[in-house]
Amino acid sequence: MRDQVNGQSGKQYTLSQSIPYVGVGLHTGKKVSMVIQPNPEATGIYFMRSDVPRGQGLVLARWYNVVDTYLSTVLGNEYGVTVSTVEHLLAALHGCGIDHAIIRIDGPEVPIMDGSAEPFVSTLTQTGIVPVAAQRNGIWIFKPVEVREGDRFAILVPSARPRMTVSIDFPDTMVGTQALSVDINQAVFMKEIAPARTFGFNDQLEALRRRGFAKGGTLRNAVLVDGDRVANREGLRYADEFVRHKVLDCIGDLSLAGGPILGDYYAHKPGHNLNIALVNKLFAQREKWSYVSIDDMESLQRSRWTRHLEERSRTPVRSAYSLPRSGNRLRG
């Protein structure tokens, strides 16, 4: 398709009409009403807290507005107004190709819905999208950018065909080691990633609640791991639902860069803190990437440089970032 590169459209989009949601916050346990509205002005994705004094409720969904990453990604503004657990909703908007929206919300936390991005994705796809008068630029990675913390890492590397490869390790639990490698495109996102639910461990729940977290968590909005079994009667949606949810979180966090990242993402034991640190480092290392229009990207893909990358990607370079193998590895 003429205006599609790596599944990315050269146009930018907003949704065609408003969509209302009602739900509870996973951590606050508070009931919230939320409406995702079109933003035809093409000024990005904004949260708008309707329960705070007029003029103080606007928060732009960008990495530099992240104020906390403990258990969820929290955005805030100069008035101390915050919106937490934004990652699943932002992943859904990004995955549905929506660049511009105003998210009106009457409380401090995005509703958790069923713990996945699926309820957002299904309503957004039913509603449909409309183009706005703005071209979409990709963030073309041409030198590796990485962050490490102990044995955890998150890396962006040049790639002619962007993929996300994530591994997690929860020893002594039924989650164990899981790894997943997927192409970054809308079809894979909707089918393989969006339905994966958030998860927690029964033996940590009491401590979390004493500290004021997970107050809204139930078996209807999270997978609860209890020793070597899943407490939810319906079981898992995928055998490797845990690592798929981690990929979902990573897509939401990386979308705070404000445009599609045209490079491979590799991460071991990623979390919101590591992802936000990676995006901060990316923007601090201006010599390692460039904004490109989709037209530029097309000529880049025809270039010798990209053919070189493609050849390289078939063999050695990936082994430097290879991850533990798992039986659930997916080649999207």
- The residues assigned a catalytic role are 272
Tokens of 243: 């690592």
Q: Answer left, alpha or beta for residue 284, where phi above 0 means left and psi between -120 and 50 means alpha.
A: alpha
We find the least distance from the C-beta atom of residue 9 to Zn ion, in angstroms, to be 26
Q: Which residue in this structure is represented by tokens 């025809």?
A: 302
Q: Which residue, 193 or 297, is less far from Zn ion as judged by CB?
A: 193
Closest contact distance (angstroms) between CB of 91 and Zn ion is 8
For residues 263 and 112, the answer to whether their CB atoms sit within 8 Å is no
- 245 vs 288, beta carbon nearer Zn ion: 245
Name the residue nearer to Zn ion (CB basis): 74 or 300: 74
116 binds Zn ion (CB under 5 A): no
- What distance in Å separates the CA atoms of residue 184 and residue 87, rounded to the nearest whole number? 17
Question: Are 138 and 294 spatial neighbours (Cβ–Cβ below 8 Å)?
Answer: yes
Judged by beta carbon, residue 17 or residue 202, the one nearer Zn ion is: 202
Listed in sequence order, the residues at least 6 apart from 30 whose beta carbon sits closer than 8 Å to its beta carbon are 24, 107, 108, 109, 216
Quote the CA–CA distance of 49 and 187 in Å, as a whole number: 32
The helix/strand/coil state of 184 is coil
Please give the size of the binding site for Zn ion, defined by CB under 5 A. Answer: 2
Strand ordering across the sheet containing 82-83? 66-68, 74-76, 82-83
**Closer residue to Zn ion, CB minimum distance, 6 or 198:** 198
For 140-171, b/e burial (b = at least 16 CB within 10 A) is bbbebbebeeeeebbbbbbbbbbbbbbbbbee
* Residue ranges in 1-20 that form contacts with Zn ion under rule CB under 5 A: none
Map residues 223-262 to x or -, x wherever contact with Zn ion holds by CB under 5 A. --------------------------x-------------
Query: What is the Cα–Cα distance from 151 to 126, expressed in whole angstroms?
Result: 42
* Four-point Cα dihedral 118, 123, 125, 128, nearest 10: -160
CA distance 18 to 101: 9
CB of 198 vs Zn ion, minimal distance in Å: 4
Cβ at position 200, least distance to Zn ion in Å: 10
Q: Among 213, 236, 204, which Cα is nearest to 223's?
A: 236
Residues in contact with Zn ion, shown as a per-residue x/- string from 184 to 203 under the rule CB under 5 A: --------------x-----
Q: Of 92 and 261, which CB lies nearer to Zn ion in the complex structure?
A: 92
Half-sphere exposure of 225 (CA within 13 A, CB side): 17
Tell me the one-letter amino acid at 218. T
Q: Which residue's CB is nearer to Zn ion, number 91 or number 292?
A: 91
Applying CB under 5 A, the residues found at the interface with Zn ion are 198, 249
